[in-house]
Amino acid sequence: MHDRNTNRKTAQAMLRATQRLGLGGSLLLLTGCSWQWVRHSHDAVALQPALASCTIEAEQRFPVRNEVAQKTVYADQYERCRKTADCDGKKYARVSRPHTESYSMDVNADSRRDQMDGCMMRKGWRSELKW
């Protein structure tokens, strides 16, 4: 359990770093790193059979369940000023307006991933971030 939490914290820290660094820095940071299954037990089940059975188990227990979610985002718009005095002498003012975006999300994704991690741990494997 500790390793999975540490791995998630590392991934969350990487996400925050990529958001701060922008696209160029993100590509540099992410180049060459990936999640891999690593044997942690001398009597581990072979990787491919473990993956196959754990995937089936996780998908049966937590099937894909897409739901529509919404979020509010703000977009800048330019509006004509009625009085130039209200807009520092300019004809247009930039105004940030909210609007709602809808998107689909799998509400079972985290539970399915946790189920997969637990199953693979029982079979002698753990997921590690490799640089």
Segments in the chain below pLDDT 70:
1-32, 84-86
User: Are 73 and 96 contacting, i.e. CB atoms less than 8 angstroms apart?
Assistant: no
| Amino acid 64: pLDDT | 96
For the stretch 56-91, pLDDT in tens is: 999 999 999 999 999 999 999 988 887 766 687 788
Produce one character per residue of 49-85: b if its CB has 16 or more CB atoms within 10 Å, e if not: ebbeebeeebeeebeeeeeeeeeeeeeeeeeeeeeee
Question: Can you say whether the dihedral through the CA atoms of 13, 15, 21, 26 is positive or negative?
Answer: positive
| pTM reported for the whole predicted model | 0.59
Overall size of the chain counted in residues: 131
